[in-house]
Structure 1
Amino acid sequence: MPGTTDQTLRPFLWRAETLYGDTEIVSRNHDGLQRYTYSEYADRVSQLAYALEGAGIEPGDRVGTFCWNHARHFETYFAVPSMGAQLHTINPLLPDEHIRYIVDNADDEIIFVDPSLAGKLASAASGADGEFDDVDFVVVGSEPTDHLEATPYESFIDGYGTDYDWPDVDEDQRAGMCYTSGTTGKPKGVEYTQGMLWSHTMATLTPQGIPMADDDVVMPVVPMFHVNAWGMPFSATAGGSKHVYPGPSPEPGDLATLIEEEGVTITAGVPTVWLGLMEYCQENDVDLSSLETVVVGGAAAPKSMIEWFDDRDVEVLHAWGMTEMAPIGTVAHLKADLRGADYETQLDKRSKQGLIVPGLEFRVIDESGEEIPHDGEAFGELWVRGPWVTTEYFERPEANEADFEDGWLKTGDVVTVDPDGYLQIVDRAKDVIKSGGEWISSVELENAIMAHDDVAEAAVVGVPHERWQERPVAFVVPSEGADRDRLIKEVTDDLAADYPKWWLPDDVEFIEEVPKTATGKFSKKDIRERYADQSLVDGKVPEDAAPE
């Protein structure tokens, strides 16, 4: 019967191997630069599948990875799910107790571990009270590790054939797994089926997604342990692109070198990565001429960053997504009728999270349960649904009841939608500041503060206030050598020019660094806990600074 072939990942690699067998996959590893072709990659994927089968891995079993971005990690991306098993990428930046919980909860059979992360994994395993006893370890290198009883990767796959007989895998088969960072409790597991990852890949390849073609050179800086590096390894393979993996703990200089020497055209990561590259470029002679697109997600890209790359003919493509969404949900492409608009109008649209990608639906719900108007001013919680959006968490019924409703994922992001359909995240539901019964967007204030040249980072949180419930306080990381007194005055004056008095932070506190989550996002929870001091705002709010 026509149309009965299931939607799975395997055909993406088959196409790349068949049509682009000589296209390169380049990887910065611990022992130097590795370079091979799609044809050679496909052979190694086949060897890995044989080796996993020889180690007792069966369809449905979970195989964990504890690795940086490199080619050996990429080999697990197709070998594990294509043989019917489930790839579970583990975030090594999480606390030991979270890693222990994740490995135990997922019931991993084997974990592939990066040599530089073996000590971290051993530390997590040592406090597990036997929870890791049934897990085998493969160190993703050529040599054994002193930290774990682990088989070297090359020994693990050595001697196996390159003609693995891939099974017919159902599109409902679990193919991937990733856990949320757990900033508000235990991490929550999200499973991805073959069909979900296929749908996500196809959507990202559309012109309104993050298209990757056979003349592109794709470098995912976003970690491969974080929602499959935003799906880029799958999309780049499906598009026949050249891959470049930056390896363990890349510095800005490493990224600059790879861009120059490998001709990178598309790269992606959180804003802090690109702020570091910008600083490096200002101090060194760097050739970015090959670079066409920088995808930014995980946090809002400051307008100044977009302008800096624009000056170098590089497009900053703002995107938003979640672990629960595999992860891409919106991309800030300019609609056709905006391409002739003035630069400030375009910049305003591009600095938002963007337009929902083809295949997804959304609604925005206010506190009364009604949908908000798309006027760019009304706030509400963003709900989404679609073929690659999960409808439940792994073994977490209490979270399922709170976070899902009638097939919709309640994202927890508070957004506005403008008349052109562009979504802008105003805040996380837990971070929005409610002062005197009115909402204040901490994200909007942060972006305005970070527009100042002497501000490296800024976070705004609500501090308890006896009269107004909460008041905003700004926590600012000044640039080196900044005049702090002048900086406070200029930031305050800039905010006062654009926002009502009751929005203005009641204090500006200087800190050395904004705390980060394990995925590189600002951790306001840590700031709130550290600075939960009502004295920061008591007595500082003039009567006319309250909301009307």
Structure 2
Amino acid sequence: MAGYDQTLKPFLWRAERLHPQQEVVSRTHEGIVRNTYSEYADRTRQLANALEEAGIEDGDRVGTFCWNHHRHAEVYFAAPNIGGQLHTINPLLPPEHVQYIVQNAEDKVLFVDQSLLEPFEAAYDEEAFETVEQFVVMGSDVPETSLEPVTDYESFVGAQDAEYDWPELDEENPAGMCYTSGTTGKPKGVEYTQKMLWAHTMATLTPQGLGIEEDDVVMPVVPMFHVNAWGLPFSTTAAGAKHVYPGPSPDPADLVQLIEEEGVTMTAGVPTVWLGVLEYLQENDADLSSLERIVIGGAAAPESLIRQYDDLGVEVVHAWGMTEMSPIGTVAHLKADLQDISKEEQYKKQAKQGLVVPGLEFKVVDDDGNEVPWNGEDFGELYIRGPWVTDSYFKRPDANESDFEGSWLKTGDVVTVDEDGYIKIVDRAKDVIKSGGEWISSQELENAIMAHDDVSEATVVGAPHEKWQERPVAFVVPTDDAAIDEDAFLEELNEFLMEDYPKWWTPDSVVHIDEVPKTATGKFDKKTLREQHDIESLLDDAPDPDAE
């Protein structure tokens, strides 16, 4: 029997007792805000008292519609530690999805950032929000709003006592909730228990996870509304490290300034964020000497991106996970016996999704349900399980039947595993391109195209083809100084790609676009791209890939 339940409470207790002067720094509308762990813990207890006074009881959901800042971080520990459930809501979702999520979750108290009041009010629906008993605007005042009853955060917590007797909670208590982005239907709710968040935190603290130390300065750029900012508010607190929160809508200049001024050693976000920072650095001087590593996830990190940051002395740590996994599942650290391989081979390993973190198991199965060998060539769907992986969706028995097999989560990712155990996502099952009976990885092709000097972003989709079933079409965003003629560039690009790939992998058409549409979590949105373009007509004049 376990001697004590595994919950989030000890992480905050330890940080306050062992590192009382460590900082929690936040960029806000009101400027830079600094709190010590001692002050942060006091404010969290004040919030706990306020939530209890507002009627939050065991299992009640506390919703947040917020950016990354200290007040949001206070909700992260207060709501689950009183027995409630932290429910982060993505403000970039369509209004109808926000309505569905709030109604489905039955939120009781909702925290909203001032800068997000407009999209929040656009999503507000009296029937969908009927369970909400209190709105709290993050800040020290309440702008004009139709929400009611409403108060500002500082008034909500300010009169409360900084002493609070945290209850003893069962480790199976729901502690968090996040919804998938719902690109293929209604968003699906994923609940996280105290034990799941505890286990995920402990795994990310290991060297095989993210290896956060007490002398680290951690800046999560990945939004706190997206799978708990990959767990970083919890793991940074557990380590006793310094937090730096970039606040509302940070641009590359904001991020670079925070790295310079706060001595950030580790940060995390999707690839598009770090591509933007690279473009900023081309035009501006900056001191990134404190920055040791960038954790990149949410989408595949192009090898070219890894190389460019390596040239700056910054390690790119490629990670992969899912909302259903709390979220981290793999990290692409180099194993000890691979430290002496060539730099080129190291880059190839780092560009893969990596090694499964301690505590998880996985298998890769083909269409017949047989496990594929670890040879880097055979591929199948990735199944994964472990103590922080969910085995069901909230109120969605229909999805439970198709997305789970016993204790296994069927990820929907098509992968290979090499002889060293490194997982490489070939594609999402729905995005892989089948051409002439062979598979083409749209994701791998995208990364290869983005290695071209004239390409800032690229995405690849399969277009119907009478002879070959499907053929790849590339949508490219040129760099600022590149002038691209689509026909001429297609030939140039394919010559570039054929240095590493067979001719039948190369795109049959290139389309110049100003921006790749993104999902609410920053991933390339191929569904929207298909709606914006007549994909079927793009291959009308394309050459036969089999022709010489």
With normalisation by structure 1, the TM-score equals 0.97
Q: Which residue of 1 aligns with 2:108?
A: 109
Q: Is the 8 A contact 2:450 2:457 kept in 1?
A: yes
2:144 to 141, 146, 161: 146
1:513 pairs with 2:544: no
Q: Which residue of 1 aligns with 2:529?
A: 527
Could you tell me which amino acid in structure 2 is paired with residue 137 of structure 1? F
Deviation at 1:527, TM superposition (A): 1.6
Could you tell me which amino acid in structure 1 is paired with residue 143 of structure 2? T
Could you tell me which amino acid in structure 1 is paired with residue 409 of structure 2? L
Indicate the SS of the match to 1:109.
strand
Indicate the SS of the match to 2:64.
strand
How many angstroms apart in 2 are the aligned matches of 1:267 and 1:408?
31
Indicate the SS of the match to 1:498.
coil
Give runs of aligned pairs for residues 292-441 of structure 1, distance below 5 A. Answer: 292-441=292-441
Could you tell me which amino acid in structure 2 is paired with residue 350 of structure 1? Q
1:501 pairs with 2:503: yes
Q: Is the 8 A contact 1:174 1:191 kept in 2?
A: yes
Q: Is the 8 A contact 1:179 1:188 kept in 2?
A: yes
Deviation at 1:536, TM superposition (A): 1.4
Q: Is the 8 A contact 1:8 1:194 kept in 2?
A: yes
How many angstroms apart in 2 are the aligned matches of 1:534 and 1:72?
49
Q: Is the 8 A contact 2:475 2:511 kept in 1?
A: yes
Q: Which residue of 1 aligns with 2:128?
A: 131
How many angstroms apart in 2 are the aligned matches of 1:256 and 1:533?
39
Deviation at 1:491, TM superposition (A): 1.0
Q: Which residue of 1 aligns with 2:35?
A: 36
Q: Which residue of 2 aligns with 1:186?
A: 186
Identify if the C-alpha distance between structure 1 residues 541 and 383 changes in structure 2 by more than 3 Å, giving closer, same or farther. Answer: farther
Could you tell me which amino acid in structure 1 is paired with residue 15 of structure 2? A
Give runs of aligned pairs for residues 177-216 of structure 1, distance below 5 A. Answer: 177-216=177-216
Q: Is the 8 A contact 1:454 1:487 kept in 2?
A: no
Q: Which residue of 1 aligns with 2:68?
A: 69
Q: Which residue of 2 aligns with 1:27?
A: 26
Deviation at 1:218, TM superposition (A): 0.5
Give runs of aligned pairs for residues 433-452 of structure 1, distance below 5 A. Answer: 433-452=433-452
Q: Which residue of 2 aligns with 1:240?
A: 240
CA deviations on 1:59-100 (whole Å, 9 max, x unpaired) are: 110000000000000000000000000000000000000000
Range that drifts further, 194-203 or 485-494 = 485-494
Give runs of aligned pairs for residues 144-183 of structure 1, distance below 5 A. Answer: 144-147=142-145, 148-149=147-148, 150-183=150-183
Q: Which runs of 5+ in 2 are unaligned?
A: none
How many angstroms apart in 2 are the aligned matches of 1:512 and 1:68?
27
How many angstroms apart in 2 are the aligned matches of 1:134 and 1:340?
59
How many angstroms apart in 2 are the aligned matches of 1:22 and 1:459?
46
Q: Is the 8 A contact 2:477 2:516 kept in 1?
A: yes
Indicate the SS of the match to 1:344.
helix
With normalisation by structure 2, the TM-score equals 0.97
How many angstroms apart in 2 are the aligned matches of 1:373 and 1:446?
26
CA deviations on 1:412-432 (whole Å, 9 max, x unpaired) are: 111111111101111001100
Deviation at 1:308, TM superposition (A): 1.6
Could you tell me which amino acid in structure 2 is paired with residue 244 of structure 1? V
How many angstroms apart in 1 are the aligned matches of 2:368 and 2:2?
44
Q: How well do the aligned residues superpose, as a CA RMSD in angstroms? A: 1.3
How many angstroms apart in 2 are the aligned matches of 1:188 and 1:289?
41
How many angstroms apart in 2 are the aligned matches of 1:212 and 1:504?
41
Give aligned-pair identity as a percent: 68
Q: Which residue of 2 aligns with 1:96?
A: 95
How many angstroms apart in 1 are the aligned matches of 2:178 and 2:298?
16
How many angstroms apart in 2 are the aligned matches of 1:121 and 1:404?
33
Could you tell me which amino acid in structure 2 is paired with residue 511 of structure 1? I
Q: Is the 8 A contact 1:181 1:518 kept in 2?
A: yes
Deviation at 1:7, TM superposition (A): 0.3
Range that drifts further, 416-425 or 129-138 = 129-138
Deviation at 1:285, TM superposition (A): 1.3
How many angstroms apart in 1 are the aligned matches of 2:176 and 2:217?
25
How many angstroms apart in 2 are the aligned matches of 1:63 and 1:133?
14
Identify if the C-alpha distance between structure 1 residues 205 and 543 changes in structure 2 by more than 3 Å, giving closer, same or farther. Answer: closer
